[in-house]
């Protein structure tokens, strides 16, 4: 076979949408409640945060430099939602028999992600200017997961995707944000994190609620598949420093160092040992919840932290 | 409804070449406001959020004030509006994905996040109105009409690297949404029921931003396009007009005459006469023609020259 042909990207397998009958009545009231709560809890980053109180000049240049890198990194993470959430919404719309409530809910989630990006970007700019890419190409690759393609691919099991990215990952994010908030001394950053945590509580709740609704219908094969995708995510994304750069100092050293400085100055981060505790505690809880859904999550071992 | 994976397995799939087929390359990642007017639309939308549950005076709706025939017609009309708004939830997010993949100004992505939420609110409020009038109808009365309301092909176009984004926005936003916006303005004038009128006004307010997005984008980009690219935009608009709008996507009376579209048109007439929100051919026709002429006039200075459009019920516009 011709090499050029071998390396040509493969086309995407998409569901052909069957729009009618179009169910719009509430079928998943708990998910609809998240949508309603999201609308009721709307906020405005420009109006609801007292940006003038940030006090950038109170921090030494090395601290400001670390802060711009750390908040830039959070832009890189949060910006994932600007393409991933619309793709997930499309998938829910394209796959037959998916309920209306998650579709409505995801539109609110995406607006919230946009607000988060705007806040993080504003912080990075205030501390000296956004940094547009990671310090190393290897770390860039951790972000370039092409999640829109993955979720739109009809061969991707949607519930497995939700398990990894909407339940497990959003749940971990929520716990990390809570830890960062506890350590935040700067009032503006604390306020930003308070608003974001309120949103992320819904984001994590969505994933776990949806799994609970779907779980009774999974076969053993599907449960095994979900477990495999979770393991792959932890190994290929989390342990590569996606959320916690200290887990991958070989390619995220600059970002890990910036987070440490941020933590030492109360600017919305926490130390490595506290983050390790968050991961251990969260994964233990997630393992328990997954077990109740019939999904086995193994213990993860790495030379970067204790087994979790 | 049973949640069975077998249902999904029965669903047809297609292999499509998309702009997602290559590896992702999100860096450098910029959030500069390169299109500040669109960033401002995002901020305005953030300030202007509303909630169908709380901001509509539902207790002012008195279904008993209408006959059974009027309620049945109106619930079909509002159901149809809900299907149309749902189309934007289902398909337009593909544009947002494309903005990201093509590294378009971040203002566009940010605005589209809230635009999709607004579309959800529109679908929600239209569904709620249909429910209060006797019950939401989950599909067209006759299958024949599904072709007119099921899709306008945005998703496929948005994911295709071969179809320029400028053409999609010109067709979807500056054409289809402009038509929808002018119809809403017209509905605001002819709708008498206070709740129906309130719904129309809330939706219209959001739609004005949706339309502005399209024009702000086109005005910013058109100076950089050559004649061939502008011709592709023209082709996209022509396709939207001929295959979607003139096929009855927004206005049932424009759909090819058949028992299905006739039933929809009749429901619209009864709803219109009751003042519950619809319009009819003779009232909407001049609005539609004026809108198309205005779109043509607005595109001309951008170097986009639309041809005449013909339809048996409209003549040549």
B residues 39-98 near A, CB within 8 Å?
42-43, 46-47, 49, 51, 53-54, 82-83, 86-87, 89-91, 93-94, 96-97
Nearest CA in chain A to B50: A39
For residue A2, pLDDT over 50 is answered with no
The C-alpha atoms of residue A142 and residue A297 are separated, in whole angstroms, by 22
What tokens were used for B188? 């605001």
Domains, in order of start, for chain B: 67-316 (1.20.1260.10)
Could you please report the per-residue DSSP string of A245-291?
GGG-HHHHHHHHHHHHHHHHTTSS---HHHHHHHHHHHHHHHHHHHH
Cβ neighbours for A10, distance < 8 A, ≥ 6 positions apart: B21
* Better-predicted residue by pLDDT, B4 or B304: B304
| Mean pLDDT in residue range A191-197 | 98
For residue B151, pLDDT over 80 is answered with no
Give the model's pLDDT for residue B262.
84
| Residue B6 pLDDT level (bands cut at 50, 70, 90) | very low
**pLDDT, tens digit (0-9, with 9 covering 90-100), for A212-227:** 999 999 999 999 999 9
**pLDDT, tens digit (0-9, with 9 covering 90-100), for B77-132:** 999 999 999 999 988 899 999 999 999 999 999 999 999 999 999 999 999 999 99
B11, A95: Cβ pair inside 8 Å? Answer: yes
| Phi, psi at A123, each rounded to 5° | -65, -45
**pLDDT, tens digit (0-9, with 9 covering 90-100), for A33-68:** 999 999 999 999 999 999 999 999 999 999 999 999
**CB contacts < 8 A (A, B):** 216
List chain A residues with CB under 8 Å of B26.
76, 79, 140, 143-144
**pLDDT, tens digit (0-9, with 9 covering 90-100), for B187-219:** 999 999 999 999 999 999 999 999 999 999 999
The C-alpha atoms of residue B2 and residue B124 are separated, in whole angstroms, by 24
| Mean pLDDT in residue range A277-293 | 98
Helix residue spans in B48-177 (DSSP H) = 52-55, 68-91, 93-101, 106-132, 146-149, 154-159, 165-171
* A257 Cβ under 8 Å from any chain B Cβ: no
**pLDDT, tens digit (0-9, with 9 covering 90-100), for B264-276:** 889 999 999 999 9
Where does residue B119 rank: exposed (0-12), middle (13-18), buried (19+ CB within 10 A)?
buried
**CA distances from residue A159 to A86, A185, A217, A277, B8 in whole angstroms, order as listed:** 16, 39, 11, 28, 12
Exposure string (b/e) for B227-242, b if CB count within 10 Å is 16 or more? eebbebbbebbebbbe
Count CA atoms within 13 Å of residue B146 on its CB side: 12
**CA distances from residue B292 to A170, B241, B288, B304 in whole angstroms, order as listed:** 46, 9, 6, 14
**Number of CB atoms found within 10 A of residue A8's CB:** 12
Closest partner residue to A104 among B83, B120, B139, by Cβ? Answer: B120
Rg (CA), chain B: 20
| Cβ–Cβ < 8 Å for A164, A245 | no
Give the model's pLDDT for residue B257.
81
For residue B143, pLDDT over 90 is answered with no
| Cβ–Cβ < 8 Å for B111, B56 | no
Query: Which DSSP category does B271 fall into?
Result: H
What tokens were used for B260? 């299905």
Nearest CA in chain A to B151: A19
Give the model's pLDDT for residue B140.
84
**pLDDT, tens digit (0-9, with 9 covering 90-100), for B50-80:** 999 999 999 999 999 999 999 999 999 999 9
* B18 Cβ under 8 Å from any chain A Cβ: yes
A residues 86-125 near B, CB within 8 Å?
86-87, 89-90, 93-97, 103-104, 107-108, 110-111, 113-115, 117-118, 121
Count CA atoms within 13 Å of residue A34 on its CB side: 27
The C-alpha atoms of residue B5 and residue A215 are separated, in whole angstroms, by 11
**pLDDT, tens digit (0-9, with 9 covering 90-100), for A12-40:** 999 999 999 999 999 999 999 999 999 99
| Phi, psi at A249, each rounded to 5° | -65, -20
**pLDDT, tens digit (0-9, with 9 covering 90-100), for A85-121:** 999 999 999 999 999 999 999 999 999 999 999 999 9
Nearest 5°: CA angle at A38, between A161 and A292?
40
**CA distances from residue B191 to B186, B198, B241, B272, B275 in whole angstroms, order as listed:** 9, 10, 26, 7, 5
Mean pLDDT of chain B: 92
**Number of CB atoms found within 10 A of residue A265's CB:** 20
């Amino acid at each position: 076979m011709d090499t050029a042909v071998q390396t040509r990207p493969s086309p995407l397998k998409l569901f052909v949408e069957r729009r009618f009958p179009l169910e719009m009545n509430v079928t998943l009231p708990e998910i609809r409640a998240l949508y309603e709560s999201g609308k009721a809890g709307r906020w405005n980053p420009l109006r609801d945060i007292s940006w003038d109180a940030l006090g950038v000049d109170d921090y030494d240049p090395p601290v400001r430099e670390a802060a711009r890198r750390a908040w830039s990194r959070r832009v890189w993470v949060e910006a994932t939602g600007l393409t991933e959430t619309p793709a997930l919404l499309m998938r829910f719309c394209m796959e037959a028999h998916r309920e209306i409530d998650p579709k409505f809910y995801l539109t609110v989630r995406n607006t919230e992600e946009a607000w988060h990006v705007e806040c993080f970007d504003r912080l990075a700019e205030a501390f000296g200017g956004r940094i547009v890419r990671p310090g190393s190409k290897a770390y860039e690759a951790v972000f370039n997961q092409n999640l829109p393609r993955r979720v739109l691919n009809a061969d991707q099991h949607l519930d497995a995707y939700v398990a990894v990215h909407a339940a497990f990952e959003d749940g971990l994010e929520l716990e990390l944000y809570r830890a960062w908030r506890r350590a935040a001394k700067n009032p503006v950053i604390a306020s930003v994190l308070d608003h974001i945590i309120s949103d992320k509580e819904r984001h994590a709740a969505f994933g776990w609620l949806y799994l609970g609704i779907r779980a009774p219908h999974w076969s053993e094969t599907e449960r095994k598949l979900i477990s495999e995708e979770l393991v792959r995510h932890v190994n290929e994304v989390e342990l590569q420093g996606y959320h916690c750069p200290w887990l991958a100092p070989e390619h995220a050293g600059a970002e890990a160092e910036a987070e440490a400085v941020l933590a030492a100055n109360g600017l919305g981060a926490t130390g490595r040992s506290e983050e390790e505790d968050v991961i251990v505690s969260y994964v233990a809880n997630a393992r328990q919840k997954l077990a109740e859904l019939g999904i086995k999550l193994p213990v993860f071992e790495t030379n970067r932290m204790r087994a979790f | 409804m049973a949640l069975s994976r077998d249902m999904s397995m029965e669903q047809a799939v297609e292999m499509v070449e998309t702009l997602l087929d290559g590896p992702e390359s999100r860096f450098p990642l910029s959030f500069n406001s390169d299109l500040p007017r669109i960033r401002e639309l995002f901020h305005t939308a953030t300030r202007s959020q509303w909630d169908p549950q709380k901001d509509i005076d539902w207790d002012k709706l008195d279904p008993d004030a209408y006959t059974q025939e009027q309620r049945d017609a109106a619930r079909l009309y509002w159901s149809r509006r809900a299907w149309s708004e749902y189309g934007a939830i289902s398909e337009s997010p593909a544009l947002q994905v494309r903005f990201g993949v093509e590294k378009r100004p971040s203002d566009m992505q940010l605005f589209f996040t809230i635009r999709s939420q607004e579309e959800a609110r529109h679908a929600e409020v239209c569904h709620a109105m249909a429910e209060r009038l006797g019950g939401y109808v989950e599909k067209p009365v006759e299958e024949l009409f599904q072709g007119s309301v099921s899709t306008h092909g945005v998703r496929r176009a948005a994911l295709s690297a071969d179809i320029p984004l400028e053409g999609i926005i010109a067709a979807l936003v500056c054409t289809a949404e402009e038509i929808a916006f002018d119809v809403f303005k017209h509905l605001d004038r002819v709708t008498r029921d206070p709740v129906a009128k309130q719904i129309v006004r809330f939706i219209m307010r959001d739609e004005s931003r949706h339309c502005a997005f399209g024009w702000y984008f086109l005005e910013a980009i058109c100076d950089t396009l050559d004649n061939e690219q502008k011709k592709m935009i023209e082709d996209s608009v022509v396709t939207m007009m001929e295959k979607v709008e003139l096929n009855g996507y927004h206005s049932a009376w424009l759909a090819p005459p058949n028992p299905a579209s006739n039933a929809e048109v009749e429901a619209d007439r009864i709803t219109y006469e009751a003042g519950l929100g619809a319009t009819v051919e003779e009232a909407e026709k001049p609005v539609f023609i004026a809108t198309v002429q205005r779109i043509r006039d607005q595109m001309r200075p951008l170097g986009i020259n639309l041809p005449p459009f013909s339809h048996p019920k409209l003549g040549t516009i």
